[in-house]
Amino acid sequence: MADRTGSFASAVRTRRVALGLRQDELADLAGVSERFVYALEAGKTTARLDKVLPVLAALGLHLELCRGARDHIDVAADLQS
């Protein structure tokens, strides 16, 4: 499970850096605390969706739920841009 959390945290951090945003700037854009952004990027294992979704939206990302078990999380190709 830590692998999945790490992938999510890494995807958030990678996208934020690619956009040239500091954690405090992302927090302001998403309407969450800087501490929440830090915790999310550090691999926080529990988080409220009503806080996660605005962070993802500010980064131009979305959360997709898929039926069935998978052993990894695919990071969207647009994270590379």
25-75 per-position pLDDT tens digit: 999 999 999 999 999 999 988 899 999 999 999 999 988 877 776 665 555
- How many Å apart are CA 2 and CA 25, to the nearest integer? 27
pTM summary value: 0.75
Tell me if residue 63 falls in helix, strand or coil.
coil
pLDDT at 78: 47
- What pLDDT score does 64 carry? 83
How high is the pLDDT of residue 70?
Answer: 61
* Overall number of domains in the chain: 1
Q: Give the pLDDT of residue 2.
A: 40
Q: What amino acid is encoded at 46 in this protein?
A: T
Residue 66: the pLDDT is: 76
Domain range for 69: 2-80
Q: What is the CATH number of the domain that holds 68?
A: 1.10.260.40
